[in-house]
Amino acid sequence: MLDTTCRALGAVLLSLLGLGVAAPHASAQCCEPAYRLQCQTVYEEQQVTTYRMESETVYDQREIVKKVPVWETQTRERRYKVLRPVRETSTREERYTVQKPVWETVMRDNSYNRVRNVVETHEREERYTVQRPVWETSEREERYTVLRPVTETVQQERRYTVMRPVVTYRQQVVDQGCYVQQVSYVPGTTQRGLTWVTAAPVVDPVTGTVQTQRSGLVWANIQTPPKPVVTQVWKPNLVTQQIPVTQYCPQEVVQKVPVQVCRYVPQEMVRKVPVRTCRMVTEEHVRKVPYTTCRQVVERVEQKVPVQVCRMVTEQRVRKIPVVTCRYVPEERVEPYTVRVCRMVEKRETVSVPRTVCRKVPVTYTIKVPRTIMVRVPVL
């Protein structure tokens, strides 16, 4: 479409400047060559700088405590009862009837009719109509619209998200206690042995009278004194602390970037287009068409064929059939099986937590901008 527009503009300029194609008698008199203007598109390079967002992943080390399942295998016994089949075989008599074949030969009539085709050829006249094309040439005006490119530079907003660090403080209770020494007493033991008893009044449990017991050595239970034991006991001291916590919050940033936009301006053009029209003319023709007819002639063919005929004779027979009887006997069995038991065990490990850091990187690239120029071309 652009080439057609340039040719039309060149023809108009040649007609205005008097550089159009001369008539046959004028070209014979003038020896100077004629020129015409032709549109050409030239691309000019331009440097454009923009900013590109690049993301970089940074890993932070963090210690976590998780519970890991540990599987253990245990062997157990399962008791169950099964029914064991016991098969017993016996015999019984069965009477049945069979059909015994008896073959006989008979003559069968297989006469048939044979059909023979007789082919004959004839001719007939056939009239048909044909459509003959007739072409006519005419001219019509055609209006069309071309789009002329116009390049403009506009400011375009580019929005992207940046992760900003935000520091907050949270309270945490920390135990800053210490170990202290604490004295406790262990009670003494009771032993059987000789001990000195002083004289004292004693009440007889049977009669209830008071008697005086003399002093001396007697066998009795001796209680040892308690022993002091020193142990270390943890003395708690709860202290509240402020711990800083850093969190990354998304924040939207708006940046204006120059962008070259190419828009097309419509322009109406007029040209003459030759149009060929085809109309159909009806003509009648006559042709001879050969055709073939076929008639059938029937002939009788006599044929007799011997045929074997089977006749069934009934006969009674006796046979012995084995019968298997199955009975089930209960039986107890023991089956060992394994069971997997899971228990949770705490495990500390250090993991890397990724976070994304965004930064702007300048990028320079070259673009080509189209420009239309007029060039003189000699007419041959």
Q: Looking at residue 7, what is its pLDDT?
A: 58
Q: Is residue 227 part of a domain?
A: yes
Q: Is residue 228 part of a domain?
A: yes
Q: Looking at residue 16, what is its pLDDT?
A: 46
- Return the H-helix or E-strand segment holding 14: helix 2-17
Give the CA-trace dihedral at 22, 24, 28, 34, to 10 degrees.
Answer: 30
Q: Looking at residue 27, what is its pLDDT?
A: 40
- Give the residues of the chain that fall short of pLDDT 70: 1-33, 380
Q: Looking at residue 13, what is its pLDDT?
A: 53
> What is the CB-side half-sphere exposure of residue 45 using CA atoms within 13 A?
4
Q: Looking at residue 19, what is its pLDDT?
A: 38
Cα–Cα distance for residue pair 121/300, rounded to 1 Å: 27
Q: Is residue 223 part of a domain?
A: yes
pTM over 0.75: no
Contacts of 245 (CB under 8 A, 6+ apart): 167, 168, 169, 170
Cα–Cα distance for residue pair 32/350, rounded to 1 Å: 92
Cα–Cα distance for residue pair 247/351, rounded to 1 Å: 18
Report the domain count for the chain.
Answer: 1
Say if CB 291 and CB 125 are below 8 A apart. no
Q: Is residue 230 part of a domain?
A: yes
Instruction: Please give the backbone phi and psi of residue 19, each rounded to the nearest 5 degrees, phi first.
Output: -105, 15
Instruction: Please give the backbone phi and psi of residue 28, each rounded to the nearest 5 degrees, phi first.
Output: -70, -30
Q: Is residue 19 part of a domain?
A: no
Q: Looking at residue 10, what is its pLDDT?
A: 54
What amino acid is encoded at 59 in this protein? Y
Q: Is residue 218 part of a domain?
A: yes
* Domain limits for position 226: 178-199+211-235
Q: Is residue 75 part of a domain?
A: no
Q: Is residue 225 part of a domain?
A: yes
